[in-house]
Amino acid sequence: MKDTPGWASPGSAPSDGQEPGASGPADQTDRPDPAQQPGQDPQGSKWSKEQPPAAQWSAPTGPPAPGQTPPPPPPGPGWGNRPPSGPNAPGGYGGYGGWGSGWGGPPPAAKPGVIPLRPLGVGEILDGAVSTMRTYWRTVLGISLTVAVVTQILVILLEGLVFNDTSTEALDDPSATLDELTRAMGDAMLSSGVVFLISLIGTVAATALLTTVTSRAVLGKSVTTGEAWRDARPQVAKLFGLIFLLVLIAFGVVAVGILPGILVAIAGSGDGGAALAVLGGLGAGFVALWLMIRFSLASPALMLEKQGIVKSLGRSAKLVRGSWWRVFGIQLLATIIANVVASIVVIPFTFLAAALSGDGFTGFLNSGGDLGWTFLVVSGIGSVIGAMITFPITAGVTVLLYIDQRIRREALDLELARAAGLQDYGSGTPGSTAGG
């Protein structure tokens, strides 16, 4: 029996179980003759041409003894006692075909880890991400803390040593010349781009490691940071390529959308070009958002199925097809929750950093936001704590969404149950037991 799920076989059909009704009652020609005497050849016996209807007769019995109460007649179909339930009952937890004949709906799904092995609701996906962080907090917070600290140290050093001399005051000055505005905008875009690139690298690294942790948490199995890294390391380079490709696609779509407006503005129609650029940018933004959600499950597909970049994009598009709004809504809700919780931590640190800086909070506002070392360090501590919250939630929700879509489309729950040690799960046979 395998101890790992079949991530590497996307789209595979679940194992064939016993179909309901496949083992029905024997044919009447195989039944023994009630009138047959012991030792008589069964092939020589003949059935009467007049037989009672099937399943509505019993073996003949003699009259009851004097003083004996005759047995009650058998109950009619559909009115007897409540049928037995549980994993050992016919069509039990693993037999989906028995749901319609029970009382009170389907039996509870097996839950070897942080989620039940069935299609998930929104609350179950969010709860699964939080449960992973709470149950395996040492590994999850260790990974998040390490990535966040390294990322934030690089950001602080760059902002304190390289970008501290750049000034963006010209952007707020109405009398600034075109050269000054161009130089200020270039400096702002350079600093923001470098910080974004570092943050993106940290996010990719955290996602790669936390994907392994979450996939093991679904099976109820823990994993150390070293094990997570060994499992994720062969795919990290491809994951970087995937993320950069998605960023290029998004920027490319937006650039194509605003390009006509820019060309019109250059041609001499400034107001018309600006309006066209805004409309084109909004339309391109919606297209880019649609593409990003369509490809949002490519990261777990790449990490867990060990596929290439292009195939992972195709897998994500296949899994999201027909469920775009649901995937978008769940990811948006998870992002809002994670950032709100992180902001509760980050904003107080930002105010504290401004108050502890050289000129105090009022001086920090009046100076236009000049960044000193005290401000960078204190606000960086808040950013690290915030990242320790956002990384596990966003990565966990993405992985669980991927698993949920595969359960809905490819019956992945059967493979997960077997990997978790639930024998004969989904085969309709009794005896499903939970393994370690």
Say if CB 8 and CB 430 are below 8 A apart. no
Residue 9 clears pLDDT 90, i.e. is over it: no
Q: How many Cα atoms sit within 13 Å of 234 on the Cβ side?
A: 10
Nearest to 198 by CA among 162, 230, 167: 162
- Burial class (CB within 10 angstroms; exposed 0-12, middle 13-18, buried 19+) of 399: buried
Which residue is it, tokens 């062969």?
234
- Confidence at 275, pLDDT banded by 50, 70, 90: confident
Dist. CA 288–CA 381, nearest whole Å: 33
Q: What is the dihedral of CA 70, 74, 76, 80, to 10 degrees?
A: 110
- Confidence at 310, pLDDT banded by 50, 70, 90: very high
| Helical segments of 71-121, H only | none
Residue 181's pLDDT is 63
Greater model confidence, 31 or 235: 235
Find the range with the poorest average confidence among 68-72, 198-202, 402-406: 68-72
Dist. CA 214–CA 228, nearest whole Å: 10
List all residues 6 or more positions away from 150 whose beta carbon is below 8 Å from its beta carbon: 202
Q: What is the mean pLDDT of the chain?
A: 74
Residue 191's pLDDT is 73
- Confidence at 73, pLDDT banded by 50, 70, 90: low
Average pLDDT over residues 3-22: 48
Q: At what angle do helices 324-356 and 373-410 cross, to 10 degrees?
A: 170
Dist. CA 270–CA 274, nearest whole Å: 6
| Helical segments of 219-269, H only | 225-267
Highest mean pLDDT: which of 48-62, 91-105, 370-384? 370-384
Greater model confidence, 18 or 373: 373
DSSP letter for each residue of 284-322: HHHHHHHHHHHTTTHHHHHHHH---HHHHHHHHHHHHTT
DSSP letter for each residue of 47-66: --S--PPTTS------PPPT
Highest mean pLDDT: which of 92-96, 98-102, 140-144? 140-144
Q: What DSSP character marks residue 235?
A: H
Residue 292 clears pLDDT 60, i.e. is over it: yes
In Å, how far are 118, 242, 272, 350, 378 from 375, measured between CA atoms?
A: 48, 34, 43, 8, 5
Greater model confidence, 429 or 172: 172
% of the chain residues with pLDDT over 90: 26
Dist. CA 11–CA 411, nearest whole Å: 9
Q: Which amino acid is at 321?
A: R
- Burial class (CB within 10 angstroms; exposed 0-12, middle 13-18, buried 19+) of 429: middle
Residue 95's pLDDT is 40
Residue 326's pLDDT is 95
In Å, how far are 40, 382, 390, 399 from 198, measured between CA atoms?
A: 89, 17, 16, 23
Dist. CA 433–CA 1, nearest whole Å: 13
Read off the pLDDT of residues 344-394 as tens digits, 9 standing for 90 and up.
988 888 888 778 776 655 655 555 545 677 888 888 888 889 888 888 998
Residue 93 clears pLDDT 60, i.e. is over it: no
Q: Which two tokens stand for residue 418?
A: 């077997």
Residue 63 clears pLDDT 90, i.e. is over it: no
- Confidence at 426, pLDDT banded by 50, 70, 90: low
- Confidence at 166, pLDDT banded by 50, 70, 90: low
Residue 290's pLDDT is 95
Nearest to 426 by CA among 9, 202, 99, 175: 99
- Confidence at 106, pLDDT banded by 50, 70, 90: low
Residue 70's pLDDT is 54
Read off the pLDDT of residues 189-236 as tens digits, 9 standing for 90 and up.
777 777 777 887 888 888 888 999 999 999 998 888 888 889 988 998
In Å, how far are 255, 274, 352 from 268, measured between CA atoms?
A: 20, 11, 49
Say if CB 30 and CB 47 are below 8 A apart. no
Residue 436 clears pLDDT 50, i.e. is over it: no
Residue 20 clears pLDDT 70, i.e. is over it: no
Is the pTM for the entire model greater than 0.75?
Answer: no
In Å, how far are 70, 91, 322, 430, 431 from 19, measured between CA atoms?
A: 39, 10, 29, 14, 17
In terms of phi and psi (left: phi > 0; alpha: psi -120 to 50; beta: otherwise), the region of 55 is left
